Amino acid sequence: MIRFENITKQYNQKTVIRDFNLDIEEGQLVVFIGPSGCGKTTLLKMINRLLEPTSGKIYVNEKDISKQDPIELRRNIGYVIQSTGLFPHMTIKENLELIPKLKGEDSDSIKRKTNDLLELVGLAPDEYLYRYPSELSGGQKQRIGVARAFSTDSDIILMDEPFSALDPVTRNSLQDELFSMQKELNKTIVFVTHDMDEAIKIADKICLLNEGHIIQYDTPDQILKNPASEYVEEFIGKRRVWNNPEVLKAKDIMISDPAKVSPRRNVFQAIEIMKENKVDSLLVTDKQQSLIGLVTLKSIQLQNRATTVGEIMEKNILSVTEDENLITVLQIMNENKIGYLPVVSEKNQLTGLITRSSILSVLSGQLLDLEVAF
């Protein structure tokens, strides 16, 4: 979708971006983050040619943007900045309809889209269409700014620290709405911020920059769990995983080789397998390793030793997928008063088992890392 190829940018002999290469996939929300002067805003402004690279090429949908008319390019790329950039002498309706009208879109379509976008950002059209920017709060103005960026019907939206001047409550609300809009409308969004909490909350991928270089480009959970260097670890903060338990997935906290048994085994054999593995329950799987049931020592110890596991196993058992987060896992365990939770693949194949002990082991390890760090 967007490809940076060997980008370099110099200002007065000072190089701020050097040999920068990056591919941004269609439909992803990618956050550029890093310290002041790292080049994140410079890179953003190159995408719509508000700035030109000293060398290198940027491609959008495999087209070299340096060969496109910059005005036409910008009309097809949404852009949101911290100060919103709304025209003060125009109503909200006029602000939202300006670019679609310049592009010659149908008037009925524009009207319908304007109303839909206002509703998407949580503002009632009847109440806000004919107001002026001066009549709105900072949060309302920023909502209009976001709606205007999406009004272009473009596939790409650029956002340069759009929420940084807002109060925490309004900021959190807009982050939620942006995340929902991106998933609903499937836009490709490049978002600049200096706030790691914001990046973690909204990003599909985070590009951490320093001195014009990519230090790490990955999903939020991978950056938190596997920082590429000590610099990344320091930048995101030692306590970040501990403070964001939702980034821990079932696959991170499960026992990867749980004790299991075939439904064709008899009770005597199942009890022997339990003794061998020092457990009081066994997960039951078929030939394809699909999870089909559970047997416990308590439920089978009084059964006829020749009875098969398949005849007496509990079939309706709860499970989670590998990508379920720790918060959800704990909720399921607490609500159902259970101390274990099998983990399965999308095809219901058993991949692991979560127990309270396995959760405590992982969290204790995180805490130990913190104690060593401090």
Q: Are 156 and 71 found together in one domain?
A: yes
Instruction: Report yes or no on 156 lying in a domain.
Output: yes
Q: Are 237 and 273 found together in one domain?
A: no
Rounded Cα distance between 58 and 66, Å, is 8
List the structure tokens of 99: 């670019």
Least confident of 10-24, 55-69, 219-233: 219-233
Q: Are 193 and 255 found together in one domain?
A: no
Q: Are 199 and 326 found together in one domain?
A: no
Residue where a domain stops, chosen among 247, 269, 301:
247
Cα distances (angstroms) measured from residue 308 to each of 105, 262, 315: 70, 9, 14
Rounded Cα distance between 326 and 361, Å, is 13
Residue 222: pLDDT above 80?
A: yes
Rounded Cα distance between 201 and 163, Å, is 13
Strands 156-160 and 14-24: unpaired
Query: Model's pTM, two decimal places?
Result: 0.67
| Beta-bridge mates of residue 191 | 31, 159
Q: Are 285 and 357 found together in one domain?
A: yes
pLDDT digits (tens, 9 = 90+) for 130-159: 999 999 988 888 888 888 888 877 889 999
Domain harbouring 93, CATH code: 3.40.50.300
Q: What residues make up the domain containing 62? A: 2-247
pLDDT digits (tens, 9 = 90+) for 20-62: 999 999 999 999 999 888 999 999 999 999 999 999 999 999 9
Residue where a domain stops, chosen among 247, 275, 306:
247
Residue type, 223: I
Q: Are 310 and 178 found together in one domain?
A: no
Residue where a domain stops, chosen among 247, 273, 303:
247
Q: What phi and psi values does residue 350 have, to the nearest 5 degrees?
A: -70, 125
Instruction: Report yes or no on 370 lying in a domain.
Output: no
CB neighbour class for 214 (10 Å; exposed up to 12, middle 13-18, buried from 19): middle
Instruction: Report yes or no on 367 lying in a domain.
Output: no
- The DSSP secondary-structure symbol of 228 reads S
pLDDT digits (tens, 9 = 90+) for 304-332: 888 999 999 999 899 999 989 888 998 99
Instruction: Report yes or no on 374 lying in a domain.
Output: no
The dihedral of CA 322, 270, 272, 301: what is its sign?
positive
Q: Are 11 and 144 found together in one domain?
A: yes
Torsion angle in degrees (nearest 10) through CA of 349, 269, 316, 334:
-90
Q: Are 225 and 301 found together in one domain?
A: no
Q: Are 194 and 285 found together in one domain?
A: no
Q: Are 52 and 27 found together in one domain?
A: yes
Number of helices (H) and strands (E), helices first, in the chain?
17, 16
Torsion angle in degrees (nearest 10) through CA of 275, 276, 279, 282:
-100
Say how many domains are in the chain.
Answer: 2
